[in-house]
Amino acid sequence: MSDIFVGDNDHSDAVPPTDVLLQMIKLLREDAVHFANELNEVVSQRDYARREVCWLLSERSADPTSAQSFAVDRDWDCFKEDGNV
């Protein structure tokens, strides 16, 4: 997050200038975008790993149930972008 420090939390500090507040808002928005992008990447890797597990389970199983069915049984939505689950 930002390196801007305003006050010492004793509630007697002056209100920071508008330009400082605007800079803090800008930095917080940048952080939010950065963390949203990181979250999307983690979810994508998670879904890839879940699909791999499902494919391996379906390959090893004598039951001809599809990998998507394994995902549904586990309440995983890792195939949602394929439109299959």
Residue 51 is assigned to a structural domain of this protein: yes
Provide the number of structural domains found in the chain. 1
| pLDDT computed for residue 27 by the predictor | 96
| pLDDT computed for residue 31 by the predictor | 97
Q: Using a CB cutoff of 8 Å and minimum separation of 24, what contacts does 22-27 make?
A: 27/1, 27/2
Taking 60 as the threshold, does the pLDDT of residue 65 lie above it?
yes
Q: What is the pTM of this model?
A: 0.56
Residue 10 is assigned to a structural domain of this protein: no
Residue 40 is assigned to a structural domain of this protein: yes
| Structural domain span for residue 43 | 18-79
Residue 7 is assigned to a structural domain of this protein: no
State the average pLDDT over residues 20-48.
Answer: 95
Largest CA distance in the chain: 71
Between residues 41 and 69, which one has the greater pLDDT?
41
Residue 1 is assigned to a structural domain of this protein: no
Taking 60 as the threshold, does the pLDDT of residue 25 lie above it?
yes
